[in-house]
Structure 1
């Protein structure tokens, strides 16, 4: 079996953690809070972020050489999501997860 690098394993963990955090926060905190939290652009961005994180993790688990592309896109979307969650406010867990994932994905995309 192919042995995955520690760096890739860490990135998979960051992606899955961000996926769970974004999806979980959107479905509970945001839906319940309403207002700015459920603005279509913000909510769509959170869903897009969760999905690209899941996809990037999946591509790395598949050991696909295309993971560099998904990771590059993931870093970009996570960064955007972190900024938007900061703007909306009261979403520190999401901001933290997105920033960590973006950082990790940038390294994998390099």
Structure 2
């Protein structure tokens, strides 16, 4: 199956968001950060896993990818909101929030185009 460039870009955005959310989780858990709030960690975990799931559904051209993308966009935006609310002296949360927003925009585009 051949994927169009838009889908390939969205898969790339999902995988990058997954990576950066996972890195942010490790940063919170192993670093000297002050954002150990469980709500934020759950959001990072949810976002990371949903991005991976979304990329997987799109890669295999699942007929269910559009509604998975819609959910992914919602979860990514919620995660970005929480990342933006935390003090971020080293820029890890800002980088994660930016990846979440980019992924949300890509996934939202796929959902609307379905």
Instruction: Give the unaligned 5+ runs of structure 2.
Output: none
**1:104 match:** 106
Instruction: Give the unaligned 5+ runs of structure 1.
Output: none
Aligned pairs for 1:15-30 (under 5 A) are: 15-27=14-26, 29-30=27-28
When you count helix as a share of all residues, which structure comes out higher? 1
Say which of 73, 76, 79 aligns to 1:75: 73
SS in 2 for 1:88: coil
Tell me which stretches of 4 or more aligned residues in structure 1 moved more than 4 Å.
Answer: none
Q: What is the TM-score with the length of structure 1 in the denominator?
A: 0.93
**2:51 match:** 53
What's the CA shift string for 1:13-47, capped at 9, x where partnerless?
A: 000000000001111x2121343x21111100100
What's the CA shift string for 1:29-78, capped at 9, x where partnerless?
A: 2121343x211111001000000000000000111010101100000000
Q: What is the TM-score with the length of structure 2 in the denominator?
A: 0.90
